[in-house]
A and B are shown apart, each in its own frame.
Chain A
Amino acid sequence: MGEIGNPAAVSGGIDLSQFYGVFFEEAGENLASMEGLLLALDVEEPVEDDLHAIFRAAHSIKGGAATFGFADVAELTHDLETLLDKLRRHELKPSAAMVDALLEAGDLLKAQLAKHRGDEVSKNTATTELRARIRTFASGEAPEAAAPKGRLVDIRVGPLPDPAFADNLFELFRDVPDMGTIEKTDEGQADAEGCRHFRVRTPCGDEELRDLFSFHVDREHVHIRPVEAAAPAAPAASAPAAPAKSAVQEDDGFGFFMDPHEAREAAAQADEQAGVLPRPPRRRCPRPWPRPSPWPRPKRPPTSPRRAARSIRRRCAWPSRRWTS
Chain B
Amino acid sequence: MHSILAVDDSASMRQMVALTLKAAGFSVVEAADGQEGLEKARGHPVNLVLTDQNMPRMDGLTLVRSLRGMPEYRHVPILILTTESSDAMKAQGKAAGATGWLVKPFDPNRLVDVVRKVIG
Most chain A CB within 10 A, of B10, B62, B65, is at B10
Closest to B112 in A: A12
A286 on the B face (CB < 8 A): yes
In the complex, are the beta carbons of B54 and A14 less than 8 A apart?
A: no
Which residues of A line the B interface, CB within 8 A? 11-14, 16, 18-20, 22-23, 26, 53, 55-56, 59-60, 62-64, 66-68, 240, 243-244, 246-247, 249, 253-258, 260, 263-264, 266-267, 270, 274, 279, 282, 285-289, 291-292
A249 to B79 alpha-carbon distance, docked (Å): 13
| Min CB gap A170→B, angstroms | 34
Q: Are B92 and A258 in contact (CB under 8 A)?
A: no
A289 to B61, Cβ gap below 8 A? Answer: yes
B88-120 to A contact mask, C-beta < 8 Å, 1/0: 101111111111111111111111101001110
- Roughly how many angstroms separate A27 CA and B51 CA in the complex, as a whole number? 20
Q: Which of A12, A20, A59 contacts B109 (CB 8 A)?
A: A12
Given A19-B16, A264-B77, CB of A292 within 8 Å of CB of B57? yes
B29 interface residue (CB < 8 Å to A): no
The answer for the CA separation of A239 and B41 in the assembled complex, in Å, is 38
* Interface set of B (CB-CB < 8 Å, partner A): 9-13, 15-16, 19-20, 23, 52, 54-59, 61-62, 65, 68, 71, 74-77, 79, 83, 85, 87-88, 90-112, 114, 117-119
Residues of chain B within 8 A (CB-CB) of A12 are 20, 107-112
Task: Give every chain B residue within 8 A of A263 (Cβ-Cβ).
Answer: 75, 77, 99
B106 in complex: contacting residue of A67, A258, A267, CB < 8 Å? A67
Query: Which residues of the partner chain B approach A288 to less than 8 Å between Cβ atoms?
Result: 92, 95
The minimal Cβ–Cβ distance linking A233 to chain B, given in whole angstroms, is 21
20 contacts between A and B (CB under 8 A): A12-B107, A12-B110, A13-B108, A16-B16, A18-B19, A53-B56, A66-B105, A67-B104, A68-B12, A243-B90, A246-B90, A247-B90, A258-B99, A260-B119, A264-B77, A267-B76, A282-B68, A282-B97, A285-B96, A286-B95
> How many whole Å from B8's CB to the nearest CB in chain A?
9
Q: How far is the CA of A196 from the CA of B61 in the complex (A)?
A: 44
When the two chains form their complex, are residues B106 and A255 in contact, meaning their CB atoms are under 8 A apart? no
Residues of B within 8 A of A246 (CB): 87, 90-91, 94
A59 touches B54 (CB 8 A): yes
A257 and B98 contact, Cβ closer than 8 Å, known pairs A12-B108, A59-B54, A66-B83: yes
CA distance A289 to B89 in the complex (A): 10
Q: A56-B55, A64-B10 are in contact. List 8 more A-B contacts (CB 8 A).
A: A249-B100, A254-B114, A255-B85, A257-B93, A260-B118, A264-B77, A270-B75, A292-B59
Q: Please, how many angstroms separate the alpha-carbon atoms of A246 and B85 in the complex? A: 12
Also in contact, A255 and B58, with CB within 8 A (given A67-B13, A260-B117, A264-B119): no
The 9 closest A-B pairs by CB, nearest first: A12-B108, A267-B75, A12-B109, A256-B100, A243-B87, A23-B12, A66-B105, A67-B105, A22-B12
Task: List A contacts of B87 (CB < 8 A).
Answer: 240, 243, 246
Question: How far does the alpha carbon of A59 sit from the alpha carbon of B91 in the complex, in Å?
Answer: 21
- Complex Cα gap A274–B91 (Å): 30
Beyond A260-B117, A267-B76, A291-B62, is A285–B109 a contact (Cβ under 8 Å)?
A: no
The answer to whether B112 and A60 touch across the interface, beta carbons within 8 angstroms, is no
Docked complex Cα distance between A22 and B13 (Å): 9
Question: In the complex the two chains form, is B92's CB within 8 Å of A266's CB?
Answer: no
Known: A63-B13, A254-B102. A11 touches B54 (CB 8 A): no
Give the chain B neighbours of A287 by CB distance below 8 A: 65
Residue of A nearest to B61 (CB): A289
CB distance from A154 to the nearest CB of B (A): 37
Would you call B83 and A62 a contact (CB within 8 A)? Answer: yes
